[in-house]
Chain A
Amino acid sequence: MSSRRHFNPWAFILPGVIAGGVVLGVPVVQAFWTSLHRLRLYRLHDQVFVGMENYLRLWQDPLFMLSVRSTVVFTVGCTVLSVLAGLMVAAIMSTRGIRGTTMARFFMAFYLVPFVATQVVVGMLGRLYVWEPEYGLVNFLLSLVAIDGPMWLISRDTAMLATVITNAWRLTPLAILIFYAALATVPDELLESAEVDGAGGLRTFTAIKLPLIRYHIGFVTLIQMTSAFREFDTVFALTGGGPGRATNVLSLLVYNEGISAANLGMANAIAFTMLIIVGVISLAYMRLARLDKAGE
C-alpha cells in the first residue's frame, strides 16, 4: 500500500488525454466555430461571423432534408439487416455438433472477410461486378432462378437497397462474432432442461438464448447504428451519392458542400448537426438499453 504514494496513474493517463484533446477536442470545437461563419474554401482569410444562420438555412434546404431521410433509411436498414443476419449465422454456428469444431473455426475465419475488406474496393467491386445489371453477380444468380433482376445502382428505386445490402455485408461479421461469443456463455443445463421439456431448436433459441444475450444485441445494435450513420467510404465508392441524390447520405453531403461546393461554413454546420444527432441518439439509447451500466 505504501507504493500508492509514489504512483500517480495520471502520469500514464495525461499524455493520452492531451493527445486526444488535440486530435479530437480541437477539431470538434473548430467544427462548431466554423459552422457559425461564412467561409469559402479558397478564401480562408475571409471569415465572416453569421451566428446560427447556417443552421437556420439547413432546415429550409430540401437537399439537406433529402440527405437526412437517406441517412435514416440507410442506418436503420444496415443495422436491422446486419443484426438479423448476425443472429441467424451465430445461432446456427452455436448448435451442438458445430460449435467449437475445426470446421466452425474455418467458417468463422472466412466469415470475417467482409469485415477486413477495404471499403473503397468493396464499393468498386460492388459497382462493377456485383450490382452491374447486365453482367453482375446478383443478377446472374437471379437469372438462375428465372428472375429478371432490376437495374440496382442505376435506378432510383433500387439504389438504396443495394447500398444498404453492400454495407450490411461489411457490418455483419462483427455481429456474428459477438453473438457467437455471447451464445457460448449460455449454460448447457438450461438448454438440456428445455429439451427435456420438449422445446424445439427454434423455440429454445427465442425463449432461452435470445433473452440471455439481450445485452449483446443492444450493444451490437448501437455499434452498427453509429458506424452506418457515419459511413462514407463504401457509399462514396459504390454510388457517389447517386443516382441523382438517391443515396446521398449526410457524410457525403458534407463532402459535397465543403469540398466540391467550397462552402466550409455550411459543411461544418451539417457535420456538427450529425454530431448532435448521433450524440443524442446514442446517449438515449445507452440509457434505455442500460448499456452505460453494463459496460463497467
Chain B
Amino acid sequence: MAVRYAFLVFWLLVSVLPVVVLVMASLKDTALFQSIPEVLSFRGFTLDNYERSFRQGNYLFFLRNSMIISFSALIVVLVTCVPMAYGITKLVSDRSRGTLVFMVLSTRFLPYVVLALPMYLFFARIGLSGTLIGVILAHLAMQMPFIVWLMLGFFAGIPREVEEAAVIDGCTPFQVFWKVCIPMVLPGLNASAILAFIISYNEFLFAFFLAGYDAQPLTVGITRFIGGADVGAQYGVVAAYGSLIILPIILFALIVNRYIVSGLTQGAVKG
C-alpha cells in the first residue's frame, strides 16, 4: 500500500511541479536563470515581474480580448449545439440519426490547420481578418463537434416517460425542451459550458492565424510580448506573464473539478 501512495504522490508532483516552478520563478527578482533550489527557495520575493507584465505586456488588454472571445464563443456554441443535440436524440429515423452522429464524430478529429488556413483567407477577403468576430466563429467551428457529442450523451439519459408526461400535461415541444429537458441536463450543460470555456481560453492556433493585433487573446499576446526586443532575456517577466495566464484557469478548474470530471467521462463510460 505504501508503494501505491508513494506512486500517487510522485504523480502529483509530475502534474504540478512544473507549474510550481513557473510560479516561484515569477516571484523572483532576476533577469537571469536561477538553479531549481534557488527558484524554489522562499527568499527574495518581489512583484516586479508582475508589474512589468501589466505595464509593458498590456495584460489587461489581452485579458479583455480573451474574455470577450471565450464568453461569446461559449454563448454561440451553446445556442447552436444544445438544441441540435436535443433534436438529434429525438429523430425517429435511425438512419438520419446515425448519419448526423457520424458527422459529429468525424468532424471531432479534423486537424485545426485545415480550418484555420482557409478561414484566414476567407476572412481576409470579406474584411473579418483581425476582428474578434472572426476568432469567435473559428472557436465555434472548433467546439461544435465536441459539445454536440457531449450533449448527445446527456440528453440520451432522460427517460422517455418524463417527456411524454409533460406532453400529456399540455406542454408544447419547445416547453418540453426548455422547461423539462434543460433542467434535467443542467449538470451536463454546466460541464459542457465549463469545458468549452476552458478550451476557448487556452486556444492559440486560431487566434494566432486570425486575430491580427486588436483581437489578440492572452495566448497570442504572450508570444508576441516575449518575442519583442524590449523584453529580451527577462525570464522572470515571461514566468509572471505565463502565471497570469495559467493560474486563473487552473484555479477555476480546481473549483469546478466535479463538472470537468463528469464532462470528460461522459460518452466514454456507460453505466
Contact = CB atoms under 8 A, between A and B. Distances in A.
A98 to B, nearest CB: 7
Contact of A12 (B83, B121, B238): B83
B15 A111 contact: yes
Nearest to B163: A3
Main secondary structure on A side of the interface with B: helix
Interface in A97-118: 97-98, 107-114, 116-118
A271 B113 CA distance: 6
B3 to A, nearest CB: 9
B244 to A, nearest CB: 9
Interface string B1-29: 10011011001101111110110010000
Among B25, B121, B124, B226: residue with most chain A CB under 10 A: B121
A113 B250 contact: yes
Interface in A1-58: 3-4, 6-7, 9-13, 15-17, 19-20, 23-24, 26-28, 30-31, 34, 44
Chain B, interface size category, equals 35 or more
A130 interface: yes
B180 interface: no
B125 to A, nearest CB: 7
Interface of A: 3-4, 6-7, 9-13, 15-17, 19-20, 23-24, 26-28, 30-31, 34, 44, 88-89, 92-93, 95, 97-98, 107-114, 116-122, 124-126, 128-130, 132, 134-137, 140, 169, 173-174, 177-178, 181-182, 185, 216, 219-220, 226, 229-230, 232-233, 236-237, 250-251, 254-255, 258-259, 264, 267-268, 271-272, 274-275, 278-279, 282-283, 292, 295-296
Interface stretch (B53-61, B185-193, B198-206): B198-206
A126 B18 contact: yes
Given A185-B271, A259-B120, 9 more contacts: A7-B173, A13-B88, A20-B103, A24-B145, A28-B115, A135-B35, A177-B261, A182-B269, A255-B209
A27 to B, nearest CB: 4
A263 to B, nearest CB: 11
Given A9-B90, A125-B242, A181-B265, A135 B114 contact: no
B117 A134 contact: no
Contacts of B167: 3
B264 interface: yes
Contacts of B21: 125, 129-130, 137
